Structures are given as structure tokens and as C-alpha cells.
């Protein structure tokens, strides 16, 4: 650790206004942590000190590291917000890599107590991999999603040269009823148009939002944890099974036909790989290191999510 003091009770979060950022912030505050955010916009939570930054202009408030032991790097443009033009792809990658580079430059230039970087990544690292059970040692794919994750993780790993503890979570589909993938997947089902996508055989590696939040807190508190981990539930399911379980939870029917892949490709372009790709990941590594899932089964996860 290059003599750095272990001071993890003050956490600085990038991307703190996103889904996971907000949920992690709330849980950290409830557990007695000091939390601050780096954001392009002023914060609206009086409990959270918000420092400004603008990655596109290489600007970061130099005071943001004061008292900080851990940085949680969740910042990044929404992958699915727009079609993947060349300009959009660059923005998606730069928002993840240039941001952490800006933080590392500040760490090098100012006295600080930062000892840990915990970063999001994505199972897009493996992308469409069929039925293969993917571990953290599995090789990356070669499409845009994989390239984005490779550059993202490489940028984060530069912190090793600064003596920092680095943890990276390759995140699956985070389930929350209010936003994100589950909200979009539930819309046609609620309208009575639920149907599997493509073949319906593609694997979905999902995770209940609470388990995702708990995994971040676990990494903050377990100071000997380092390296890359898959962030998903222990029991991934095929798209058709996910559709059936979700429809049952919502008390809606499922059509006996699938939505054809070509229609999704016409609608979404290259981005269709998000819903048509098959990614089945193993989480044995994080379980071996002591993490326990609250919601390992999809039925229980959805029941809890929709009961709130």
C-alpha cells in the first residue's frame, strides 16, 4: 500500500446520482460513513458534499480528495441511451477512462489518504459467449462492449502504480423496478405483449440491486479484497425463462412466439447485442472470498423487488 493509511470511512463516489450510486450512497450513510460525490451538476442531497468536475474539460475540484480513503468509480455514459454511432462509442469509453485518469492525476499531484479504488466494469467484457460458463479468467470478446470494458479496466488498473488497492466488478443486469433494464423489460409484459427475445436461449446474468449494493460495501470493508470479480447472482437464466418468471410475477401472459432477432437488429442496430447476446458468468470467486447473496434465485429476487 506504499505506506498509505487505511481510512475507508470516507468514500468519494463518481456517478453518485446513477441508480447504483444513489443506493450505495444511502446505505453507506446509514452505516455511518462520510460520503461525497464528484458530479457535473450540484447535488440535491444535503447530507452529501458534491464536488464539481468536467471530464471533457479536464477539470476536477482539487479539494475532492480531502479525508477520502476509498473512491467508488461508477461514472459513465449510459450504454443503452442512444444508438452506437462512432461519436457515441467514443463518449461511452471516454466517460469511463478519462474520468479515472483525471482522478489519478490529482492523486499524484496532491497529498491525500486515498488507498482504494473500487470500480464498476461490465460482463460486456465477455459479451456474447453462448452457453460457456465464464469466470474472471475467461478471455474478453472482441466487439465494442468488450473493447469498452478492456479500456475501462486498463485505465482503472493504472492505480496499481500508485500503490492503490484495486477492485473491479464486472456487473450483470441489475434489477430494480424503477429504472434500468427491468423497467424496460417489464413494459411490454405489463401491456400484455410479453415474449422472449430472439431465440430466447441467450443467458442473462442478473443481480438484485441489494446484492449489488452489498457487494460494493463488502469490497469497501474487506481491505484484503482486490482484483476483478463478476457481479451477478449465482443462478443466471435464459431469456425465455426470465420472461416467464417476470410475467408470472406481474400476473401477465407470455406470447407463444418470440420477437425475431432481425426485428431487434433493425430497431437497435449494433446495440442489439445487449439483448441478443448470451453471457453466463460464474460468481464462485466472490463467494469463495466470503460474500453471501441475499437473492440467489430470480423468483425470490423479483418477488422482493415488486413487494417494495
Sort residue 43 into left (φ over 0), alpha (ψ -120 to 50) or beta: beta
Residue 247 lies in a domain: no
Q: List the one residue out of 86, 104, 207, 204 whose CA is nearest residue 147.
A: 86
For residue 212, give every residue at least 6 positions away whose Cβ sits within 8 Å of its Cβ, in sequence order, or none.
Answer: 20, 23, 171, 174, 231
The pLDDT value given to residue 263: 75
Q: pLDDT by residue (tens digit) across 102-116?
A: 999 999 999 999 999
Residue 272 lies in a domain: no
For residues 126 and 134, is the Cβ–Cβ distance under 8 A?
Answer: yes
The pLDDT value given to residue 79: 86
Element spanning 125, H or E = none
Q: pLDDT by residue (tens digit) across 224-278?
A: 999 999 999 999 999 999 999 999 999 999 988 888 676 766 666 766 677 778 9
Residue 211 lies in a domain: yes
Residue 93, C-alpha cell as written in the block: 469509453
Per the structure, the complete domain to which residue 43 belongs is given by: 10-175+205-234+280-294
The pLDDT value given to residue 47: 81
Q: pLDDT by residue (tens digit) across 191-221?
A: 888 898 889 999 999 999 999 999 999 999 9
Residue 255 lies in a domain: no
Residue 173, phi then psi, degrees to nearest 5: -80, 110
Is 49 or 276 the better-scoring residue by pLDDT? 49
- Its pTM stands at 0.93
Residue 217 belongs to domain with CATH number: 3.40.50.720
Is residue 4 pLDDT above 80, yes or no?
no
Residue 242 lies in a domain: no
Residue 106 lies in a domain: yes
The pairing of beta strand 49-54 with beta strand 59-60: antiparallel
Average per-residue pLDDT for the chain: 91
Question: Domain tally for the chain?
Answer: 1
Residue 222 lies in a domain: yes
Amino acid at each position: 500500500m506504499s505506506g498509505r493509511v487505511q481510512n475507508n470511512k470516507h468514500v468519494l463516489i463518481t456517478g453518485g446520482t446513477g441508480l447504483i450510486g444513489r443506493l450505495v450512497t444511502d446505505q453507506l450513510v446509514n452505516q455511518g460513513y462520510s460520503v461525497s460525490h464528484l458530479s457535473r451538476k450540484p447535488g440535491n442531497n444535503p447530507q452529501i458534499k458534491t464536488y464539481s468536475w468536467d471530464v471533457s474539460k479536464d477539470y476536477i475540484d482539487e479539494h475532492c480528495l480531502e479525508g477520502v480513503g476509498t473512491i467508488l468509480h461508477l461514472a459513465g455514459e449510459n450504454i443503452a441511451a442512444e444508438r452506437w454511432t462512432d461519436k457515441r462509442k467514443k463518449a461511452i469509453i471516454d466517460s469511463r477512462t478519462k474520468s479515472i485518469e483525471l482522478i489519478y492525476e490529482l492523486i499524484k499531484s496532491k497529498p491525500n489518504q486515498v488507498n482504494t479504488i473500487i470500480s464498476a466494469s461490465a460482463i460486456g467484457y465477455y459479451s456474447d459467449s453462448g452457453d460457456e460458463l465464464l469466470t474472471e479468467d475467461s478471455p474478453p470478446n472482441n466487439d465494442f462492449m468488450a473493447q469498452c470494458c478492456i479500456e475501462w479496466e486498463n485505465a482503472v488498473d493504472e492505480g496499481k502504480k500508485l500503490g492503490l488497492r484495486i477492485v473491479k466488478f464486472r456487473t450483470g443486469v441489475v434489477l430494480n423496478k424503477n429504472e434500468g433494464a427491468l423497467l424496460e423489460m417489464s413494459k411490454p409484459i405489463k401491456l400484455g405483449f410479453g415474449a422472449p427475445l430472439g431465440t430466447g436461449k441467450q443467458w442473462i446474468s442478473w443481480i438484485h440491486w441489494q446484492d449489488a449494493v452489498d457487494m460494493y460495501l463488502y469490497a469497501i470493508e474487506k481491505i484484503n479484497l482486490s482484483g476483478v470479480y463478476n457481479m451477478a447472482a449465482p443462478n443466471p437464466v435464459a431469456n425465455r425463462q426470465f420472461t416467464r418468471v417476470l410475467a408470472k410475477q406481474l400476473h401477465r401472459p407470455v406470447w407463444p412466439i418470440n420477437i425475431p432477432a432481425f426485428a431487434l437488429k433493425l430497431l437497435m442496430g449494433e446495440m442489439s447485442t445487449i439483448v441478443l447476446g448470451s453471457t453466463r458468468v460464474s460468481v464462485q470467486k466472490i463467494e469463495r472470498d466470503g460474500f453471501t447473496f441475499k437473492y440467489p434465485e430470480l423468483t425470490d429476487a423479483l418477488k422482493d423487488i415488486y413487494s417494495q
